[in-house]
Structure 1
Amino acid sequence: MPHRNAPLTETGRLRLARCVVEDGWPLRRAAERFQVATSTAHRWAGRYRQLGEAGMTDRSSRPHHSPHRTPTRLERRIIKVRVARRWGPARIGYLLGVHPSTVHRVLTRYHLARLRDLDRATGRTVRRPVRRYEHPAPGDLVHVDIKKLGNIPDGGGHKAHGRAVGGRHSSAHRDPTRPRKVSNHPNLGYGYLHNAVDDHSRLAYTEILPDETKETATAFWTRAHAFFTTAGITVTRVLTDNGSCYRSHLWRDTLTAAGITHKRTRPYRPQTNGKVERYNRTLLDEWAYNQPYTSEAERRRALPQWLHTYNHHRGHTALDGQPPASRVPNLHRQNS
């Protein structure tokens, strides 16, 4: 099967070759007709003369000889040490006098299991279950995070018009009051997506704000807390990363006054706040980069509708295909 960028399929190659070999077309004429290079037309015509229709398939790009490949005997020794001692590439390399990267390539070539997937006592491959936690009730834990997102220039950026036109749009000031920080470089600025996601229900609340200061983050949480309260959710704990706004006294005092416990992730360990990190990716894939917007204002106008769809209609894999609204007691305010 030809690769995705091939200009000709196997049928197209056969037609080109027959035009040259059987109908006597010049190579240049056949190349222009099928919109390929003359050398390409020459290659497929030659293979047709030699092999017929069977020559129209792609050949492997693997070389016939690899003189610098690791010797088979050394590969066997690497595999033997790995299986017997369950060592990593570095220790095997030190033992056999081989660079660890070479050992890693050999282990990868023979599809040997990673050490983390092996039982150290028996050497058998074990299937580790997916570690997924979920708090039992809405509000037991709310994940909060900030995602920095570049603004779209008026007229559309490179995703809408390509690099040439998008670059010209970006070079113009979207906001004349914002000076360039670097000469000849656009300064469109950024929007900061402040996000709050409930751990149990995955109910989300998002605002686009101009910065990530402690005052902005605290004001956002006040509105997010009111949103969750209106939905019938009593928030008892909030989990954030170690950003400066979340380490401020203002943030601490605001949560303490509301009777909320603040938890922070371990440094350089974003997986702890994984639910909101995954929400950030969904937000980018399904809203921010879902279509080529022609302005930042157009993209921001689309956010409320997308957020409503996410909370009320979009099926969530962790909720057995149900939307977050299925786990929230009063999202539609039917009990108020």
Structure 2
Amino acid sequence: MDCDIYPGYQETLVTHANAPLTPAGRLRLARCVVDDGWPLRRAAERFQVAVTTAKRWADRYRADGAAGMTDRSSRPHHSPSRTSARTERRIIKVRVLRRWGPARIAFLLGLNPATVHRVLSRYRLARLTYLDRATGRVVRRYEHDAPGDLIHVDIKKLGNIPDGGGHRAVGRQAGQRHRTLTEGKRRDRNGNSHVGSSYLHNAVDDHSRLAYSEILADETKETATEFWTRAQKFFTSVGIIVTKVLTDNGFCYKSHLWRDTLREAGVVHKRTRPYRPQTNGKVERFNRTLLEEWAYARPYRSERERRGAYPGWLHTYNHHRGHTALGGKPPATRVPNLTGQYS
């Protein structure tokens, strides 16, 4: 007797990559055993499954008919070791009120961090990196439609490395000795032989994440304005017409010189709300990336050596380094006119 499935039954997709039977195949097997009287071993060989598997679907068919051929949840009916509802409420309360991570919450409540993490994941609470630390609200992500619609500008202050290497390269005691010796030397115009601070003036395009950056000696209004003039010239050279610039509320960006320079170039200037650096998040993320991948990436022996590595790193960032927000592609892929893209 034919043991094919009844007409009109629609075969569904397999439930996972290694499933030997679809729900339709399970029904076919069960009907062979229950309706047609096949021995379990013969049915198992015919459908290339274990005898126990054939028995399971035959038993399901006897009990529930065709409806029993679908997958069932493997979740147990009772979980005595599951975290109590009271503890879960305490975890969520601490997370919402204090905005702590799993480790700190676990220490406070005397729990395992993995347990806290599972509870937070179960209730789908947003990661701390997605939240505004001041308000606890989810940060709204945005991206402008075209290059030049918005340029993020910021300044990152960075301590110089003494000649011979700082504490990251040679240890704290030797690093302090190098610092003392270097401070006694005459300071040159480029700041390469003295211990002090450098100021990285950065401009990042919102759409493409293309970055223009310079290491300068200060953050005065004259220096910041001259930097922007060069930055705008760079963006124009690669076909990006700048229409708007976003900065924080630093003194140099509130000056008349800065305002007039942008106005003459037809560029709109916007400033972030006070104490809201995440509004300028794309350049803030660039600052963090350059610290991790250039400034502190290896133990430099002098400030001259570190500065010498910066142009190469910046080229890699713009032309070759994959960006998660760009689908793993570098900024150059969104700027067709950028030269040196394949060098």
- The Cα shift of 1:132 comes to 2.3
* Structure label with greater radius of gyration: 2
What is the CA-CA distance between 1:160 and the residue it aligns to?
A: 1.1
CA contact 1:202–1:324 (8 Å) conserved in 2? yes
Contact 2:152 2:204 in 1 (8 A): yes
199, 219, 222: which is aligned to 1:212?
219
Match of 1:111 in 2: 116
Corresponding residue number in structure 2 for 1:125 = 123
Alignment of 1:6-17 (within 5 A): none
Letter in 2 for 1:152: I
Local SS of the residue matching 2:311: helix
Q: Of the candidates 123, 135, 151, which is equivalent to residue 144 of structure 2?
A: 135
Partner Cα distance (1:132, 1:90) in 2: 21
Query: Aligned residue for 1:201?
Result: 208
The 2-side partners of 1:250 and 1:203 are apart by: 26
Q: Which ranges in structure 2 are unaligned for 5 or more consecutive residues?
A: 1-82, 98-103, 131-139, 188-193
2:333 matches 1:319: no
CA distance in structure 1 between the partners assigned to 2:274 and 2:332 by the alignment: 32
Measured in 2, the distance between the counterparts of 1:229 and 1:174 equals 41
Change (3 A) 1:157 1:261: same
5+ long unaligned stretches in structure 1: 1-74, 92-100, 119-123, 179-186
Per the alignment, residue 189 of structure 1 pairs with 196
User: Partner residue of 1:10?
Assistant: none
Q: Specify whether residues 163 and 321 from structure 1 end up closer, same or farther in structure 2 by C-alpha distance, changes over 3 A only.
A: same
Distance 1:80 1:252, change over 3 A: closer
- The counterpart of 2:302, out of the listed 285, 290, 295, is 295
- Per the alignment, residue 256 of structure 2 pairs with 249
Aligned residues of 2:105 and 2:116 also touching (Cα < 8 A): no
**Using a 3 Å threshold, how does the CA distance of structure 1 residues 165 and 113 change in structure 2: closer, same or farther?**
same
Q: Which amino acid aligns with 1:167?
A: Q
- Greater CA deviation, 159-168 or 194-203? 159-168
Does the CA-based 8 Å contact 1:89-1:104 persist in structure 2?
A: no
Show CA shifts across 1:48-85 (max 9, x none).
Answer: xxxxxxxxxxxxxxxxxxxxxxxxxxx989659769xx
Q: Select 1:144's aligned residue among 136, 153, 163.
A: 153
Distance 1:303 1:167 in 2: 24
Helix, strand or coil at the partner of 2:312 = helix
Query: Distance between the aligned counterparts of 2:295 and 2:105, measured in 1?
Result: 42
The verdict on how the C-alpha distance between 1:329 and 1:89 changes in structure 2, with shifts beyond 3 A counting, is closer
State the shift of 1:152 in Å: 0.4
* Residues 215-254 of structure 1 mapped to structure 2, 5 A cutoff: 215-254=222-261
Paired residues of 2:94 and 2:105 also in contact (CA < 8 A): no
Given that 1:241 and 1:270 are in contact with CA atoms closer than 8 Å, whether structure 2 keeps it comes out as yes
Q: Would the aligned equivalents of 1:197 and 1:276 in 2 still touch at CA under 8 Å?
A: yes
- Structure 1 distance, partners of 2:125, 2:326, is 23
Could you say which residue in structure 1 is the equivalent of 2:167?
A: 158
Alignment-derived partner of residue 276 in structure 1 = 283
Q: Distance in 2 between matches of 1:81 and 1:284?
A: 39
**8 A Cα contact 1:228 1:234, kept in partner:** yes
Aligned-partner Cα distance in 2 for 1:294–1:112: 42
Deviation at 1:175, TM superposition (A): 6.5
Q: Contact (CA 8 Å) 1:201, 1:327: kept in 2 or not?
A: yes
CA contact (8 A) 1:314 1:323 kept: yes
| Pair 1:226–1:108, CA change in 2 (3 A) | farther
Query: How many residues are matched?
Result: 235
1:21-47 Cα shifts (integer Å, max 9, x gaps): xxxxxxxxxxxxxxxxxxxxxxxxxxx
Q: Report the CA distance between 1:167 and its aligned residue.
A: 1.2
SS at 1:173's partner residue?
helix
Deviations along 1:64-117, whole A, 9 cap, x unmatched?
xxxxxxxxxxx989659769xx866999xxxxxxxxx99993397663999xx8
